[in-house]
């Protein structure tokens, strides 16, 4: 790369016309195959699902599902967050996760959670940097990968009161 060349990272929404980008990324990033419901949920989440581009190359994504809790409150489930290996450490995963956290704050959504395989120390440390904590362990959550157990990792967002 030339001196002074500014490389930009940008986020773009997932739509019918670019959903194949998400499918391609997932096939490379994750050891499981995702079904049609995953992609329908990702599309339905609107701004909560994003593709990340590094210098116009699609290198990462975050895909979320919005869930209604008892009492009507909404929480966000991060189905997947991943960045291609050569592009890790450049702040792309941080940009994706901060986007979702900021949206939750703006929309008064107080809970974000996800499942992380118990041996995925890198992911656990990554989420802890953003205020997530392990809130539960589920035995035999995964069917075709080892270990099959996962942690439930949650961040509770306290809404700032307007003065």
Please identify every residue annotated as catalytic. Answer: 77, 115
* Distance from the Cα of residue 16 to its chain's centroid: 19
Start-to-end CA span in the chain (Å)? 48
Cα 141 from Cα 112, distance rounded (Å): 19
Cα 52 from Cα 57, distance rounded (Å): 8
Cα 145 from Cα 117, distance rounded (Å): 9
The bridge status of strand 111-117 relative to strand 74-83 is parallel
């Amino acid at each position: 790369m030339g001196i002074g060349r500014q490389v930009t990272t940008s986020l773009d929404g997932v739509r019918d016309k670019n959903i194949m980008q998400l499918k391609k990324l997932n096939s490379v990033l994750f050891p499981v195959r995702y079904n049609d419901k995953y992609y329908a949920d990702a599309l339905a989440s609107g701004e909560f699902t994003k593709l990340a581009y590094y210098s116009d190359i699609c290198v990462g994504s975050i895909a979320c599902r919005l869930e209604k809790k008892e009492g009507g409150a909404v929480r966000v489930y991060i189905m997947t967050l991943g960045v291609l290996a050569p592009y890790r450490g450049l702040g792309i995963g941080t940009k994706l996760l901060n986007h979702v956290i900021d949206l939750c704050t703006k929309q008064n959504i107080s809970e974000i959670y996800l499942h992380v395989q118990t041996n995925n120390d890198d992911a656990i440390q990554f989420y802890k940097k953003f205020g997530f904590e392990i809130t539960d362990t589920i035995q035999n959550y995964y069917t075709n990968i080892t270990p099959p157990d996962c942690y439930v990792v949650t961040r509770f967002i306290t809404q700032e009161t307007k003065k």
